[in-house]
Amino acid sequence: MAKAELRADPNVRWRTAPTAKPAKRRSARAAAKGARRPWRRILGFLVRWFLVAVIWLAIAVLAYAGYLAYDLPDVSRLGEPVRSPSIQITTADGAVISRIGATYGPRLDYEAISPWLVKAVVATEDRRFFEHDGIDPRGLGRALVANLRAGHVVQGGSTVTQQLAKNLFLTPERTFSRKFKELILAFWLESQFDKPGLMAIYLNRVYFGGGAYGVEAAARRFFSKSAADLTLPEAAMLAGLLKAPSRYAPTHDLDAARARAALVLDNMATIGLIAAADLAAAKASPADLRAPPSTGEGGRYFADWVMEDLGGFVGPNPVDLTVVTTLDARVQRLAEEAIAAELAAHGDAQRVGQIAAVVMAPDGAVLAMVGGRDYGESQFNRATQALRQPGSAFKLFVFLAGLEAGLRPESRFVDGPLSINGFAPRNYDDKYLGEVSLAEALARSLNSVAAQVAWKVGVDEVIGVARRLGVTAPLRRDLSLSLGASEVTLMELTAAYGALANGGRAVLPYGIAQVQDTNGRVLYRRAGSGGSEVIDPQTRARMIRMLADVIAGGTGTAARIDWPVAGKTGTSEGYRDAWFVGFTRGLVAGVWVGNDDNSPMKAVTGGGIPARVWSGMMAGAMAGRPPEPLFEEDFPSLLDEFIAELGLGEETFAAVPAAKKRDR
């Protein structure tokens, strides 16, 4: 086959040697381009790995977000916050004594909140609130720049939605996972609510300081008005509290709160939310604190005492409560001032550590209570919790038992050294007066006569009288009881004297007049006129006359005021306790002086510091009242007085010499 034919045959493949091409000279430009190719390869390698890293980072972020989303709190409900009820304790006229727990106001709709407050919050907390979708990149950038310039954190980048997410669902811990959850929840909130709804939820939940959660509670706490009625200066002050509620609370530092409000007003003007005239007017008339009146630190002992009894009146209750008490702010202040004056004048010199006082109405309504010199140092209430020896103040029960057994104020006794079954009482100054009347023995607080009366009527009878008049503390069943050796509380001893002031009825001290919830529904209201009769009228009148003599010319002259009064001093052995308990027609009060460690004072008797404190607070408390007699009728009959004048009423009880002991 010819060669040409073979070449034309498609079944024949020819292998031919490549034709050699002539070499070409590389230009300088090509050489330079080839030299750069390694850097291109490196750059391409880095770009590829960067893209891979970004992809894997995105996958990791999505995986972490999925993990956190799985661990998010339940957001299906946005009900009322879970909390313990708050309790506000007030005086009878509305002054706040104490607040226990946080105060939450009722929920308000967006339309019911002052527009000034919304504008103030937007200007201060989140300027683009109505524009962003939960996260504000501009705000984050602005905060970052401000913080870098200042060298520390001066601005936060969180939006109102983010703050709401944190307040509703998360803890305040500063961790990356918490912040990431906050972002997720912020987007969720934005998808579920419109902007007015989110702002209303935020303002109804956020903490404004002073124990107030929610705008309505804050408005009433600081300005005694609804959040719907807030003025521009008031709205600026509330918005300013959000940065540091405790520091800027007007109840804590009004000047700081006003300075912060001025910055809020400037912010509002800067972004055009208020006009220049509004700015000037608001700064010229800053907000004033119009909080409900408060007794300050006074009455804290009383508030604790009331709280101990509250559960028995209303039981477990999930709602906020207002407890209206019997405390009188004026009388409370008088008691505190009288105690402070005596401690300042004589406390150190006479080694006095504590003074306690109780003032009550004759029906038992406690009007003032001081449980010690400083509640901040010690919350132990020496008026209600301390058991101390009353000394001669206990003689009320001894002499009442004697009167009920047939003795009269004119009954004669011999005051002298004696011993009864080994018990040998001594008078305060170791002096004896010889033959004296029962009334004189009480006025001069003669121990020997008190022991004779207790021995004559029997210790059990004395204990019975004390129990009938409300003493519940354990009492000794021996003659030392007649000298006040058994310990009692100031509260129960004062209440016992109250039975003389109120017509002879038993006195049960109380401090709660009414309990109501936040809706004004009354859960408890005190009713009733007091206890049953425990002292008959004639015995009561005689006892009052004898106690009046104590102040008129006996050991209690320092307790005199410009009203008819009666009472009794008491001093325990070694000057460890000193008392004065007494009453007028309208008030009963008791004072105790001593030391918590039971150490002796320096010659403090019931007729000294206690009587002066009693006089100081009672004179002020009775101011404005017309003088009234201690009782309405002259109960002892003319026949009793005639017999007494003749000296035929009672035998004279001679003191038993120490060498001639006798048994009974």
First CA to last CA across the chain, in angstroms? 169
Say if residues 298 and 371 touch (Cβ distance below 8 Å): no
d(CA 318, CA 338): 40
Say if residues 452 and 432 touch (Cβ distance below 8 Å): no
Q: What percent of the residues of the chain are helix, what percent strand, and what percent coil, each to the nearest 5? A: 45, 10, 40
d(CA 560, CA 572): 22
Among residues 98, 114, 125, 492, the one annotated as catalytic is 125
Instruction: Name the pairing type of β-strands 588-594 and 354-360.
Output: antiparallel
Instruction: Kindly state the tokens that stand for 140.
Output: 């984050």
Query: H or E stretch including 573?
Result: none
DSSP 475: -
Instruction: Kindly state the tokens that stand for 218.
Output: 């804050």
Residue 619: partners with Cβ closer than 8 Å, 6 or more residues away:
561, 562
Say if residues 153 and 243 touch (Cβ distance below 8 Å): no
d(CA 268, CA 264): 6
Is 125 marked active-site? yes
Closest to 633 measured CA to CA, from 561, 510, 529, 538? 538
Say if residues 495 and 364 touch (Cβ distance below 8 Å): yes
State residue 513 phi and psi, 5-degree precision. Answer: -95, -35
Using alpha carbons, list the distances in angstroms from residue 400 to 404, 491, 534, 590.
6, 20, 11, 19
Length of the chain: 664
d(CA 465, CA 471): 9
d(CA 583, CA 570): 15
C-alpha dihedral sign at 322, 327, 330, 332: negative
C-alpha dihedral sign at 461, 467, 470, 472: positive
For residue 461, the SS3 value is: helix
Among residues 392, 437, 448, 486, the one annotated as catalytic is 392
Active-site positions read 125, 392
